[in-house]
């Protein structure tokens, strides 16, 4: 029976490359000369460090450009508040990974509303959709792409 998985993933290697490129570009820019501004990565959490809120916003803008060029959807980022303390400001950004329960329920609801003969089931942080016809599965992918679930979705493991 043909099936595919709906997931929300961030390529960690590409994320690391975007962070490295951002730090390299920051070193070349005149407005950042002699500052301790930088981006640090710990798993899926990014920490933007700068002297002022303006510097943090500039670094985030550079980071967004680098991520877009590397094929990372910016919808997966969840930015925290900018915290200022002394001479340093910080902002945490989390790269969301996996589909939470609310989003999974919304995907299941969208699949059921399509009235196609397919079954959808939640498996951890992903949703598996199976059906007898390949065309029905392709129609489900088209339907899910039209809707906004608040995070980027990928459609993988399409099997016959």
Top pLDDT among 21 and 147 is at 21
**Domain match, 58 and 114 both:** no
Using the 3D structure, point to which of 67, 95, 123 is the last residue of a domain.
Answer: 95
**Domain match, 48 and 63 both:** yes
Q: Please give the full DSSP string across 115-154, using - where no structure is assigned.
A: T-SEEEEEETTEEEEEES-HHHHHHHHHHHHHS--SS--E
For the segment 33-58, what is each residue's pLDDT rounded down to a tens digit? 888 889 999 988 999 999 888 889 99
Contact (Cβ atoms closer than 8 angstroms) between residue 127 and residue 6: yes
Beta strands, E only, the chain: 3-7, 38-42, 45-50, 77-85, 88-95, 118-123, 126-131, 154-159
For the segment 65-123, what is each residue's pLDDT rounded down to a tens digit? 999 999 888 888 889 998 888 888 999 999 888 888 888 888 888 888 888 888 888 88
* pTM, to two decimals: 0.80
Q: State how many domains the chain has.
A: 2
- Phi-psi region for residue 78, left (φ > 0), alpha (ψ -120 to 50) or beta? beta
């Amino acid at each position: 029976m043909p099936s595919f998985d709906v997931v929300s993933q961030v390529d960690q290697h590409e994320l690391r490359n975007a962070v490295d490129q951002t730090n390299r570009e920051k070193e070349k820019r005149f407005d950042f000369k002699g500052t301790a501004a930088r981006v640090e990565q710990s798993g899926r959490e990014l920490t933007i460090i700068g002297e002022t809120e303006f510097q943090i916003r500039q670094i985030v803008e550079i980071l967004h450009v680098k991520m877009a060029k590397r094929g990372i959807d910016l919808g997966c980022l969840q930015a925290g508040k900018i915290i200022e303390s002394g001479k340093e400001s910080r902002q945490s950004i989390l790269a969301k990974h996996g589909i939470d329960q609310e989003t999974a329920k919304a995907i299941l609801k969208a699949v059921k509303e399509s009235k196609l003969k397919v079954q959808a089931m939640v498996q951890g942080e992903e949703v598996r959709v199976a059906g007898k016809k390949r065309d029905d599965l392709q129609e489900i992918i088209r339907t899910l792409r039209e809707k906004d679930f608040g995070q980027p979705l990928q459609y993988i493991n399409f099997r016959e």
